[in-house]
Amino acid sequence: MAETSLESPTRTTALRDRFLNLLGTRSLIMGILNITPDSFSDGGQFFSSETAQRQAEKLAFEGADIIDVGAESTRPGHQPVSAEEELVRLEPILGRLTGVIEAPFSIDTSKAAVARRALELGVSVVNDVWGFQRDPAMAETVAEFGAAAVLMHNRESTDPAIEIIADMRRFFDRSLRLASEAKIPHSHLILDPGIGFGKSRAQNFAALANLAAFKEYGLPLLVGVSRKSLFAEPGSPPVDHSLYRTIAGNLAAAANGASIFRVHDVVEHVAAFKIFDTIARN
């Protein structure tokens, strides 16, 4: 087992609050760090402690407000891994990162056992792609550590016939009820529409176009569209325009009410949102 990081509960809480207190002041950037062999964009690139640390330091230097670490790919058709395998990938790396990098970290997992160990190692936020609805112990684990949480909408399968906004509302209502039952403060919660998860192409665009429908929850919205094929035109030439498409999608999401953006390319998004925020808040 890896040693715990130098994080103390006080420092972890301070990093959590530093992130939460930035909400509403400007657009926030969540940098992606995948410690996986099979993520769709960067699988295998940061699988060692050394490469992971260099990438985390790069993300922080470029201006990421929080760094999201994941050890299981959630791309379509991914091979699920056990909590034990996630921990084998995370433990040699995560405590090292939180101990030396002065930035808040989130853990991208839907397993309470993985979230618990990550929180012990100094993570401040749990990013659950199943919104507390996959592992019944997740909400209690988040509450126990006083962590913040991202609750993402997800579906087991795609059904183009459903009204996706209504489905998302039902999902969020249940996730928020679980959070309330666990006594997680409302101010510690963030919603994610789950772009690319259990939705048709048309439903993904509908979700992005109707983010304002979730203002009634009074919670920040996180969007993750980075490098996703959603924005590629069907049958278009195989030219990699993913960065431009990602920035365009994120700026549109910001205009519709999103305030946190999960991205691979941090420095480009920091520059784009500096201009967006200057204009939007003028």
Q: Write out the chain's pLDDT in tens, 282 residues.
A: 333 444 456 889 999 999 999 999 999 999 999 998 744 454 445 557 888 899 999 999 999 999 999 998 776 556 788 999 999 999 989 988 999 999 999 999 999 999 999 999 999 999 999 999 999 999 999 999 999 999 999 999 999 999 999 999 999 999 999 999 999 999 999 999 999 999 999 999 999 999 999 999 999 999 999 999 888 877 776 567 889 999 999 999 999 999 999 999 999 999 999 999 999 988
The residue annotated as part of the active site, out of 199, 227, 228, 245, is: 228
End-to-end CA distance of the chain: 51
* Strand segments (E) across the chain: 28-34, 66-70, 105-108, 125-128, 148-152, 189-192, 222-223, 260-263
Is 262 a residue of the active site? yes
The residue annotated as part of the active site, out of 183, 262, 274, 281, is: 262
- Whether the CB-CB separation of 193 and 153 falls below 8 Å is answered with yes
Q: What residues does 28 pair with on adjacent strands?
A: 260
Single out the residue of 55, 59, 63, 58 nearest to residue 28, CA to CA: 63
CB burial of 214-249 (b: ≥16 within 10 Å; e: otherwise) equals: beebebbbbbbbbbbebbeeeeeeeeeebeebbbeb
- Domain residue spans of the chain: 9-265
Query: pTM value?
Result: 0.91
Ramachandran area for residue 210 (φ above 0: left; ψ -120 to 50: alpha; else beta):
alpha
Which CATH architecture group holds 9-265? Alpha-Beta Barrel (3.20)
DSSP character for 221? B
Single out the residue of 225, 264, 194 nearest to residue 43, CA to CA: 264
SS3 218: coil
